[in-house]
Amino acid sequence: MSAVAILALTSAGLGSGITATASPDAPAGKVIPSLSTSAVNGARTSTADSETVQTEVELHSTGQTNLLALAREGATTKAAPGTAPATDDPNSEIPPRKANSGFKTSPVAKQAPNSENRQLVSDPHESLHFEGINAADSRYADNGDQFTNEPPDQALCVGNGFTMEGVNTAVAVFDRTGAQLAPTVSINEFFGFASVIDREDTVTPFGKRFAFDPVCLYDHQVDRWFFVVTELDQNQKTGDLTGQTNLFIAVSETDDPLGDYEIYRIDTESGDRTDKGCPCFDDFPHIGADRNGFYITANRFPLFKDGFNGAQVYAIDKRELAANASEDGPKPTVVSINAGRIDGDPSFTVQPAAVPEGGSYTGDREYFLSTTDFDTLRESKIGVWALSNTDSLSRENPDVRLTQRTIPSLTYVAEPRADQKRRATPPPLAEEAGERPNKLDSASDMSEVEYAAGRLWGAIGTAVGDGDNKRDAVLYVQVKPSFTNGRADGKVVEQGYVSVAVNHLMYPAIGVNSDGDAAMVMSVSGRTVFPSPSYIKMDKTGVRGPVKVMDFGERPNDGFTCYKAFVGSRARGCRWGDYSAATADNNGRIWMATEFISSGPRVPFANWSTQVIRYLPDANR
């Protein structure tokens, strides 16, 4: 789901919900509960500003799956070039929309910072790169019992010589050379759900569960793979949402990503007593880990009403979770914390840090980064958060404490939508719709966060330039966190903008190894470039060299979310992103993945793809 535009759900579970912004008729204002900025200690309630709550919630076991067995039993291999067996009927491919969430829009700020542009260069031979999962792979998984989904929402995790990739709504595993090791599996199959749709069933065609927003993590301390999705229940006859919502967690039983997984569920529909308008759901989950815990954060929204209830943080003892998945220990306690307000605004996209293999941990604390302005019109500070006493997660009643502080940063402002390069003949779906290709949407959330070399590494989308020269760019930050008088603190020790002339950079993600060698991946699109994958080298002194492209995109984005003919007045920009991903392996290599438009096979209503890039810092100094 978009971290900028609150989603619009659909009468088919979310088919268009992960594909489009919310109703343009929904009111611009939202009912936002007053949440506290104070620390939360134990199970006590603090009311410094208003109520905030920390609770223990149940972790439900729902079964086991084996990824390789699923792949062999029924998933399909990549579609042959030029094939498109998916139907061209939008009523079958795109579930009818049901407007049941408010719409949040951020106009582009009038004053954007200036940035010195980097060169944009083609360098197809420097780093290993390969095409990952594309729209056809996702649509044809589960024997074709899938919807066409936009955008992909990039998940990527790497370990033990494997690369695991997830998108809306499929998962695949590759070896270190980019060879796919088993056919693509749908997210519903992976989590043990029935297919999201059965077009041959005329009575109950919809699956009970619709899952989206995948994220994954390989934790080298416990040698386990973690995979998380948001899930909404739907009526199997009508596809209407029932109000039951969950976070699902898959935890591998061994270090093999193709092996057995234990599946867990956390109920999210009821929220806690700070939440209004429930049933609620936890959107846009992201995950991290310190030496003690596994952490999930999400943005909590009412399901059927306008509103926003702030960020939610879940903390689980990771060793107990890994042991329980292997049937070698009790089920761990899950601590759920409403993150409250930051700098007067509801907390939003509070990103937990992950630590690369060989990196040092920060004692009994997990750190997070966030932006501080829910609307992100114009801001010059960020939030640094700490969950302390994480070694208590192994106790029957954990006693963790969440605190935060705002610290100065360079300015970041709301981004414009990104142009796409034009071509002489319209792409097929644009021609069918009788419309021109649309611009791509963008976002100004904090990217995923890594803790390495004593720093928190993150990035934020921002506009730069003025007038017709205003375009999407990136503000990267390196924060040295600290913990003073029992509270989170920190200082930005390195920061800067990354932009290119004429074109736009969107959805950054930074991968960094234990030595502080890094790279930042982004999508690039604009007047001279079709949507393409790109990256720039980084280290503790900032960015280095040009923005590099391994494979330039071959055509414009031509998905159904671009056009009024398919999504009505919600077609304010093609859905893109909603996030990229990057991580380091045990050899210090940086793995990155982002969305682009390839020359490969498409389906009638989407043509997106993903590219995975491996960058070896030692070979490129």
Distance CA 229, CA 262 (A): 14
Domain hosting 462: range is 40-620
Distance CA 500, CA 352 (A): 29
361-407: per-residue pLDDT in tens?
998 999 999 999 777 689 999 999 999 999 999 999 999 999 999 99
535: its two tokens = 């990256």
Q: Is residue 21 part of a domain?
A: no
Tell me the percentage of the chain whose pLDDT exceeds 90: 79
Q: Is residue 333 part of a domain?
A: yes
Write down the pLDDT at residue 328. Answer: 84
- Residues forming a β-bridge with 378: 413
101: its two tokens = 């969430």
Distance CA 120, CA 550 (A): 11
Q: Is residue 28 part of a domain?
A: no
Distance CA 322, CA 335 (A): 17
Q: Is residue 239 part of a domain?
A: yes
Q: Is residue 31 part of a domain?
A: no
Q: How do strand 449-452 and strand 351-354 relate by DSSP bridges?
A: parallel
Write down the pLDDT at residue 36. Answer: 31
Write down the pLDDT at residue 314. Answer: 99
399-418: per-residue pLDDT in tens?
999 999 999 999 999 999 99
DSSP element (H, E) containing 319: helix 318-325
543: its two tokens = 């960015």
- Residues forming a β-bridge with 248: 229, 265
Q: Is residue 160 part of a domain?
A: yes
Q: How far is CA 394 from each of CA 44, 184, 225, 332, 333, rounded to the nearest angstrom?
A: 19, 36, 20, 7, 8
Distance CA 542, CA 517 (A): 10
Q: What is the DSSP string of 581-618?
A: EEEE-TTS-EEEEEEE--SS--BTTB--EEEEEEE-GG
Neighbours of 363 (CB within 10 A): 13
Write down the pLDDT at residue 9. Answer: 38
Quickly tell me which residue has 């407007």 as its tokens. Answer: 99
Q: How far is CA 461 from each of CA 369, 376, 413, 578, rounded to the nearest angstrom?
A: 14, 10, 8, 12
pLDDT exceeds cutoff 60 at 47: no
Please report which confidence band the pLDDT of residue 16 belongs to, taking 50, 70 and 90 as the band edges. Answer: very low
**DSSP SS3 for 322:** helix
Mean pLDDT of 468-495: 97
Distance CA 267, CA 244 (A): 8
Write down the pLDDT at residue 124. Answer: 85
Write down the pLDDT at residue 375. Answer: 72
Q: How many domains does the chain have?
A: 1
> Using H for helix, E for strand and C for coil, what is the string for 473-523?
EEEEEEEEEEEECCEEEEEEEEEEEECECCCEEEEEEEEECCCCCEEEEEE
- Least confident segment among 146-155, 411-420, 473-482, 567-576: 567-576
Distance CA 339, CA 299 (A): 10
65-122: per-residue pLDDT in tens?
999 999 999 644 444 444 445 566 776 787 544 433 333 445 555 689 999 999 999 9
Write down the pLDDT at residue 125. Answer: 82
256-299: per-residue pLDDT in tens?
999 999 999 999 999 998 999 999 999 999 999 999 999 999 99
Please report which confidence band the pLDDT of residue 552 belongs to, taking 50, 70 and 90 as the band edges. Answer: very high
Q: How do strand 128-131 and strand 609-615 relate by DSSP bridges?
A: antiparallel
Distance CA 288, CA 428 (A): 41
364: its two tokens = 């009994």
- Residues forming a β-bridge with 300: 282
Asked if residue 147 lies in contact with residue 17, where contact means CB atoms within 8 angstroms, the answer is no
What amino acid occupies position 37? T
Across all residues in the chain, what is the average pLDDT? 88
272: its two tokens = 């806690």
DSSP element (H, E) containing 382: strand 378-388
Quickly tell me which residue has 């998984």 as its tokens. Answer: 141
Asked if residue 420 lies in contact with residue 435, where contact means CB atoms within 8 angstroms, the answer is no
Write down the pLDDT at residue 37. Answer: 32
Q: How do strand 542-549 and strand 120-122 relate by DSSP bridges?
A: parallel
Mean pLDDT of 513-527: 98
pLDDT exceeds cutoff 90 at 34: no
269: its two tokens = 């529909």
Distance CA 280, CA 272 (A): 10
Q: Is residue 26 part of a domain?
A: no
**DSSP SS3 for 143:** helix
Write down the pLDDT at residue 90. Answer: 73
Q: How do strand 224-234 and strand 209-219 relate by DSSP bridges?
A: antiparallel
Write down the pLDDT at residue 565. Answer: 94
Write down the pLDDT at residue 452. Answer: 98
Q: What is the CA radius of gyration of the chain?
A: 22
DSSP 414: P
Burial grade of 105 (CB within 10 A; 0-12, 13-18, 19 or more): middle
CATH of residue 163? 2.130.10
pLDDT exceeds cutoff 90 at 29: no
156: its two tokens = 């990527």
Residues whose CB is less than 8 angstroms from the CB of residue 132 and which lie 6 or more positions away in sequence, other chains included: 165, 167, 172, 174, 593, 609, 610, 611, 612
What amino acid occupies position 147? F
- Residues forming a β-bridge with 8: none
564-602: per-residue pLDDT in tens?
999 988 888 899 999 999 999 999 999 999 999 999 889
Write down the pLDDT at residue 572. Answer: 80
Write down the pLDDT at residue 63. Answer: 97
pLDDT exceeds cutoff 50 at 17: no
Write down the pLDDT at residue 515. Answer: 97
Burial grade of 546 (CB within 10 A; 0-12, 13-18, 19 or more): middle
Distance CA 246, CA 621 (A): 45
Q: Is residue 260 part of a domain?
A: yes
- Residues forming a β-bridge with 206: 197
Mean pLDDT of 160-187: 97
Distance CA 237, CA 143 (A): 21
Among 420, 500, 497, residue whose Cα is nearest residue 460: 497
Contacts 24+ apart (CB under 8 A), 481-487: 481/362, 481/367, 481/384, 481/386, 481/451, 481/455, 481/456, 483/365, 483/386, 483/388, 486/39, 486/388, 486/401, 486/403, 487/39, 487/386, 487/403, 487/405
365: its two tokens = 């604390």
Write down the pLDDT at residue 97. Answer: 47
Tell me the percentage of the chain whose pLDDT exceeds 70: 86
